[in-house]
Amino acid sequence: MVVLIKNCRVFSPEALGKTDVLVLGDKIAAVGPDLSADFNGKVPVDIIDGSGLIMIPGLIDNHVHILGGGGEGGFRTRTPEAVLTDFTLNGITTVCGLLGTDGVTRNMASLVAKTEALNEEGITAYCYTGSYHVPITTLTGSVMKDIMLIDRCIGVGEIALSDHRSSQPTYEELSRLVADARVGGMLAAKAGLVDIHMGGGPRGLTMICRLIHETEIPYSQVLPTHINRSRDLFSEGLDWIKEGGYIDLTAYGLGKPSSDVPAAEGFTRILDQDPAFDHVTMSSDGQGSLPKFNEKGDCIGLGVGSSATILENIKDAVRKGLPLEKVIKPVTSNIASLLKLKGKGRIAAGYDADLVLLDERSLDLVGLVAKGRILVRDTKAVVKGTFEI
């Protein structure tokens, strides 16, 4: 396909001003003013007027239960699988799928199959091996083999710590797991990242800190997520990135009473204290269960995560005065760099043609291009998942 988007305010994520973007096939061919695509009428060109629109890189949601998740309240509480438009209508062009609490009825074979299905349907999808529990259940029999031999597998997760649903791994078990992920990633030229679910327990980041402080494993090998689930944990997270660590905020739904730190507040506090903002990412926990537990640990309520919360939280942060070029970095260039996703996270020549068009005033989604193909046009999904009605 040849797509030419004219007169759009482009954030690469850095602000580039009003300019044009030319897409050839699945790549960005050029970014600059007054571009043209004249093939003497021999090649059809889809020209989009970007006046009144903002263009940002396709969003990367690095923590999604693409198979569904949950089950903490019994079999009927297993959440549904994601479908293509759960992502495309919310600005997501790249996802990383994982398992959660349930690594029994949700398994690695099904996760890899779902990952491949999403790639076939039009977006880019990767996956992690394992689930909450250690020792983890892999597809090939080892962490290193999964990362090295399964093309779309780029790391391990989500491993649960400081949570009553965790398998309570020992320090030695966690160290060996992260070490194997690192070496597997190195040998396969992948990130080998270990995504770590942080619960609300009092131990917080203690085991992760010990792992990094007592071994040669670098900070970039582990990513504690749900770091803004409580104010105490978030404060630990601030200290963690100051010393070189990475944190992942969960884009919780807005307007719901909770003890979490909203993303806009989290970004503001991080920027005010001026640690490395490049070490901050954000994900949705999409399709994951959002259980509520009483003081005895019994599940008393359940919600379902949604990838829609990423764009919701971006808009909320901009409304509260934060610059757009900053708040999109955690879900574009920052996470692309950490996960070593070549060609992702930026609008520049040679990068993958993953583009999101937003209304300049409301920041509502208007259009989306993934791998050079228009999937959303004029707010409507023109391409849907195989079994979407």
Active site residues: 285
Structure tokens at 47: 């020209």
Q: What angle do CA 272, 274, 279 make, to 5 degrees?
A: 120
- Length of the chain (residues): 389
Q: How far apart are CA 77 and CA 79, in angstroms?
A: 6
Q: How far apart are CA 8 and CA 50, in angstroms?
A: 4
